[in-house]
């Protein structure tokens, strides 16, 4: 299946489009740009469409400012044209078309050419008839590295390609500490470092470049933490007032929800972040067999992975918090 795709790619030059999910994170951008660098080195015409811009640190990934990267939110007409022109579309790091946002979703649904999914989320959408999908993988960037191995292509991996793929592996694995980190993950990272990626520089760029507003956002969020369900659940809240007082900018609360899990005995942590649009964005994290993908899917039309999921609600912050605590009390009883 994936070998068919690689074989087709070897036969002639293709017009390739690569997309990834809304609010692209390190793995989304890393896998997209890493794959783009590789396919360009293989002689293909490659364009990358990101639904919206990633956070500032991720914008310094090698290739991000190139002419072949289009942010659809900023240049919607160009993005639409790229969908029409491509003959082969790689959908990276998302499982279902709605994850690219409402503006791009129809283009993914109605794409006329060959469409290939490469992703590690649960429940890949049947729309993607060609899917390289594995929930056992810690990152899409690791899966792209596997494709390069299957293509016997490590000779074509330059520093820019390696930096992007290693960034994706670092961000999605929590710097190689999540349970999805395997010997193969480490061997792949080693290979990327051999190809010229600088693990320390990537880490410093991503994690030692915070604005002060992030610290203040964390301050509000950490202070709000409450334990529920006999200490097995933690709930953190960021209200609009908190965000305003912190000087919040997009991305400032990333990683905050994980701190709930750092409390002894906590198995599920949830962050509720009020949105300007009257919507509350929800982030779920869990340990072990506690399946927050299922929980988010059942109650908050969300999803993700077993141990990390998201969702949203228009219930209003106070009511939502009360409802959520009730659900958690039942689930974790
Ligand atoms: P985060 O809490 O970091 O925003 O998201 C955690 C994980 O949940 C991400 O890997 C993402 O794939 C997934 N996710 C986040 N928000 C949503 C959502 O609204 N719907 C679905 N299906 N998945 C989400
Ligand atoms: Mn990912």
Domain termination site, one of 191, 207, 223: 207
303-304 sheet: strands from edge to edge: 226-228, 233-238, 268-274, 280-286, 308-313, 303-304
Query: Per-residue confidence at 276, pLDDT binned at 50, 70, 90?
Result: confident
Same domain (yes/no): 165, 74: yes
* Ligand 1 nearest-atom number relative to CA 257: 2
Same domain (yes/no): 219, 193: no
Same domain (yes/no): 203, 118: yes
Lowest mean pLDDT among 11-15, 69-73, 273-277, 299-303: 273-277
List CB contacts of 173: < 8 A, sequence separation 6 or more.
138, 139, 180, 181, 185
Same domain (yes/no): 216, 161: no
Instruction: Write out the two tokens for 63.
Output: 């290739």
Distance 311 CA to ligand 2 centre (A): 16
* Partners of 293 in the β-ladder: none
Q: For the segment 179-210, what is each residue's pLDDT rounded down to a tens digit?
A: 899 999 999 999 999 999 999 999 999 999 89
Same domain (yes/no): 7, 148: yes
d(CA 196, CA 203): 15
Same domain (yes/no): 251, 285: yes
Same domain (yes/no): 142, 261: no
Q: For the segment 83-124, what is each residue's pLDDT rounded down to a tens digit?
A: 999 999 999 999 999 999 999 999 999 999 999 999 999 999
Count of structural domains within the chain = 2
Same domain (yes/no): 89, 139: yes
Residue 1 above 80 pLDDT? no
CB 160 within 8 A of CB 65: no
CATH number at residue 81: 3.90.1640.10
3-state secondary structure of 286: strand
pLDDT of residue 143: 98
Same domain (yes/no): 263, 130: no
Q: Which residues have a beta carbon within 5 Å of ligand 2, which is an ion?
A: 27, 93, 140, 172
Question: Domain range holding 88?
Answer: 2-207
Same domain (yes/no): 231, 279: yes
Distances in Å between the alpha carbon of 182 and those of 64, 150, 151, 173, 187?
Answer: 29, 19, 22, 10, 9
Domain termination site, one of 170, 190, 207: 207
Ligand 1 environment, Cβ below 6 A: 121, 283, 302-305, 308-312
Same domain (yes/no): 21, 161: yes
Domain termination site, one of 176, 207, 238: 207
Diameter over CA atoms, the chain:
61
CATH number at residue 276: 3.10.310.30
Residue 267 above 90 pLDDT? yes
Residue with tokens 């999605």: 172
The Cβ of residue 211 has, within 10 Å, a number of other Cβ atoms equal to 15
Same domain (yes/no): 99, 188: yes
Ligand closest in space to the Cα of 173: 2
* Ligand 1 nearest-atom number relative to CA 309: 8
């Amino acid at each position: 299946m994936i070998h068919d795709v690689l074989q087709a790619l070897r036969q002639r030059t293709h017009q390739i489009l690569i997309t990834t999910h809304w609010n692209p994170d390190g793995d989304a951008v890393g896998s997209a740009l890493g794959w783009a660098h590789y396919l360009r080195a293989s002689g293909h015409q490659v364009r990358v469409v990101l639904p919206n811009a990633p956070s500032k640190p991720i914008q310094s990934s090698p290739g991000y400012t190139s002419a072949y990267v289009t942010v659809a939110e900023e240049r919607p007409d160009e993005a639409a044209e790229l969908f029409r022109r491509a003959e082969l579309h790689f959908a990276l790091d998302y499982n279902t078309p709605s994850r690219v946002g409402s503006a791009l979703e129809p283009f993914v649904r109605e794409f006329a050419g060959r469409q290939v999914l490469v992703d590690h989320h649960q429940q890949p959408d049947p729309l993607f008839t060609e899917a390289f999908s594995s929930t056992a993988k810690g990152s899409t960037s690791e899966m792209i590295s596997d494709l390069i191995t299957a293509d016997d292509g490590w000779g074509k991996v330059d520093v820019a390609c390696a930096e992007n793929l290693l960034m994706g592996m670092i961000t999605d694995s929590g710097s190689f500490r999540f349970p999805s980190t395997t010997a193969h993950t480490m061997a792949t990272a080693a290979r990327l470092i051999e190809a010229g990626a600088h693990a320390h520089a990537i880490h410093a760029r991503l994690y030692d470049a915070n604005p002060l507003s992030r610290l203040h956002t964390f301050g509000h969020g950490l202070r709000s933490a409450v334990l529920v369900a006999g200490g097995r659940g933690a709930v953190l809240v960021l209200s609009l007032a908190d965000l305003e007082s912190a000087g919040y900018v997009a991305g400032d609360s990333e990683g905050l929800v994980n701190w709930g899990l750092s409390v002894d005995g906590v198995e599920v942590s949830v962050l509720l972040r009020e949105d300007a649009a009257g919507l509350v964005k929800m982030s779920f994290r869990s340990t072990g067999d506690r399946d927050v993908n299922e929980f988010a899917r059942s109650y908050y039309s969300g999803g993700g992975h077993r141990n990390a999921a998201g969702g949203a609600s228009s219930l209003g912050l106070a009511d939502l918090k009360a409802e959520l605590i009730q659900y958690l009390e039942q689930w974790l009883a």
